[in-house]
Amino acid sequence: MINKISYLDYNSTTPIDPRVLEAMLPFLKYNFANPSSTHHFGQSINEKVKQAREQIANFIKAEPNELFFTSGATEAINIALKGVAECYSSKGKHIITVSTEHKAVIDTCKDLERKGFEVTYLPVQSNGLIDLKDLQKAIRNDTILVSVMYVNNETGVIQPINEISKIAHEKGALFMSDATQAVGKIDVNVDDLGIDLLSFSGHKMYAPKGIGALFVRQKGNKVKLTAQTHGGGHEQGLRSGTLNVPGIVALAKACEIASEEMLQRENAISELRDTLESELLKLPNTSLNGDSKIRIYNTTNICFKGQDANVLIGRMKGIAVSNGSACSSAVVEPSHVLKAMGISDDDAFGSLRFSLGKLNTREEIRNVIQAIHKMLIPTLT
C-alpha cells in the first residue's frame, strides 16, 4: 500500500525504489557536472555514465555501443521509427505494426503515413495475439520494418517475438519491439529474440520518470538511423542533448535490482494477481479480456458488463486502477486495444485494468476484492 492508497496501476508508472533513489541522489546534489565537459570533474561523471551504460546494456544482453539514452520509451520509439523510415526509404516505404500497439507507435506511424509511407496494421485475434499467417501475408519485399510490442500495456498479452523476428528477417526487414512492459519484469535477450531495435522506460521498473533507452543493433546486421534531434552530437550523433545523469544512474540501479529479484517478484506478484482475478471473476457479468495464459504475470483486464469504468474508478476511494481508455480534449474513446480484439464499445467502456507491483500485499488485495464486491454486488444482483 502506497500512502494508504491501494495502488494497482503499475503498468502506468511505478514508485521509485528507495535503493534507486539513494543511488541517484549524489548526482543531483554533488556529482552534477556535465559528462560532456572536458575537465576532470566532467570526465569523472562521464566514467559513471559509461559504467551505467554497460550495466544496462548487459541487462538486455546488448553491447554498450548499442544503447542510446532517451527521455523515455515514447522518444525512443519516435527516434527508431522515423530514423528507420528516413534511412531505409530507398529500399521501400512499407512498415508493418499491430492494431493494439501503444499510441506512441500508432501515432508515429500515422505521421509517417502523412509523409508518404504505407503502414499495415495487423489485426489481432480475440485473445489479443496476432496470427503469424497474417504477418506472412502482409510482409513484402519493400517492407523495411516490422514493429510489434512485446507485452501489451492494457491486457498483458505477450506476442511471439522470436517467431515474428524470424519472419521479418527472412524478408530482409528490420524488427523492432516496444518492450516497455517487459524489461524489468521478465528476461529480455535481444540476441536470442532477434530484435534489431528495442525501447523501454525507467519509470515502469522503479526508476524515475524522464529516462529511457533505445537499443540499436550494431552486431551483424548493423542498423542505421537518421538522427531526429540535432545540437551537439551526443549519443553518437543520434540524440543530441545533455545527458540525464541522475536518471541514467537510477536506471542502471533499477536494472541491477531487477536482475537479482525478478524471479522472486514474479512468483509473489503472479500469486496476488491470480487471487485478485479469480475473486473478481466470481462476480456476475464479468469476463477476462485477453489470453489467460500467454501474458505477463502482473496484469489482468476485466470487463464488468453493464458498468461504466470511469464511474467505478470514481467510486473506488483509495484504490488506483486504470480503465485503459484514451482521454483527449474531453473526448473519451473506448480502448483501441480492446476494440481491436472484437470487444464492443460498451464492454470496453466497462473494463478495468489491474496491474500489480512489488509493493502490493495479500492484505491489500483482500481489501480491494472486498471493496469491489461490496460496491458491485448491490447493482449486479
DSSP string, 184-210: TTB---HHHHT-SEEEEEGGGTTS-TT
CA gap 350, 323 in Å, rounded: 8
Residue 14 in contact with residue 357, Cβ under 8 Å? yes
Range list of β-strands (E), 123-240: 143-147, 174-178, 197-201, 212-216
Q: Provide the 3-class DSSP secondary structure of residue 144.
A: strand
**Burial profile 103-132: b = 16 or more Cβ within 10 angstroms, e = fewer:** ebbbebbeebeeeebebbbbebeebbbbee
- Taking the CA atoms of residue 96, residue 103, residue 208 and residue 262 in that order, the dihedral angle to the nearest 10 degrees is -50
Residue 341 to residue 333: CA distance in whole angstroms: 15
> Catalytic positions, please?
327
Measure the CA–CA gap between 356 and 11, rounded to whole angstroms.
8
Q: Which amino acid is at 359?
A: L
In terms of Cα–Cα distance, which of 232, 210, 197, 192 is closest to 82? 197
The answer to whether 288 and 274 have CB atoms below 8 angstroms apart is no
- As beta bridge partners, residue 67 has 215
